[in-house]
Amino acid sequence: MAIEAFAPAKVNLTLHVTGQRADGYHLLESLVVFVGVGDRITVSEADDLRLAVTGPRSEGVPTGPENLVHKAASLLGGVGAQIVLDKHLPAAAGIGGGSSDAAATLRALSQLWNVDLPADNGLSLGADVPVCLRSAPCLMSGVGEVLTEVPVLPPLWMVLVNPGVEVPTPAVFKGLARKDNPPMAPVPAGLDAPAFAAWLSTQRNDLEPPARAVAPVITEVLDVIAGEGALIARMSGSGATCFGLYPDADGAAYAAAQIKEKAPAWWVDHGALGSFV
């Protein structure tokens, strides 16, 4: 028996850095959504634990214990499984690829092995794993462990663009002008796509300015997305992936095609926002 689980891209529509704990972890408030673009996990019975990586973004992805997929399997404590990670998302890109893979692995193996999900929802694997385990729009706060439901968002489509540069997260946080920025405003209910994007423009990703300083190409990416009619263009997480929001599928598909034509070396994909569990 084989069990499949989708690992959607996680996107921070906002990311407010509101403080820093004594242990160095940053306190965040982030409106997180998931897009119908991602990796896929397939698990089946085996005598021992094996991981294979396939797909267009498989090159350089480790298959040993250092992979979060492997760590997720070990956390559940099962005896064995054949795990195949079909990799489509770029790594270390600010869209939670590894964390979403780990969360999908937890979901799939909990079914295969008939065991409960971990009590901490995978927080020990990384701050983004609990929200990826939920894979639905929510407000993420604390260091990632506090998840709060938000009002239903309007139908939206997203174009994701990554220029192929790695942006070291420690360097981005080090470049923050301050660590105690204002918190997010409450997420409004009942807005259509343009009105929601207008509200979103009043909120922030506090990591975007220092990330632009570390990798100036991010500014170029944002300008290209904005030039393709996006309701808003912003960076996700600590970069370098950026996104544009669109009110309909055709607009997103057309924008993605235009960006691919202008910058064929960039990774570009598009999909609808939604819940994926």
Phi-psi category of residue 48: left, alpha or beta, with phi > 0 → left and psi -120 to 50 → alpha: beta
223 has catalytic annotation: no
Exposed (0-12), middle (13-18) or buried (19+): which is 257, by Cβ within 10 Å?
middle
- Enter the tokens of residue 85: 């990670």
User: Sign of the C-alpha dihedral, residues 119, 7, 112, 126?
Assistant: negative
CA distance readout (Å), 83 to 46, 70, 96, 104:
9, 9, 19, 11
CA distance readout (Å), 101 to 168, 185, 208, 269, 274:
20, 30, 25, 18, 17
10 has catalytic annotation: yes
**Of 39, 86, 101, 128, which is the active-site residue?**
128
Annotated active-site positions, please?
A: 10, 128
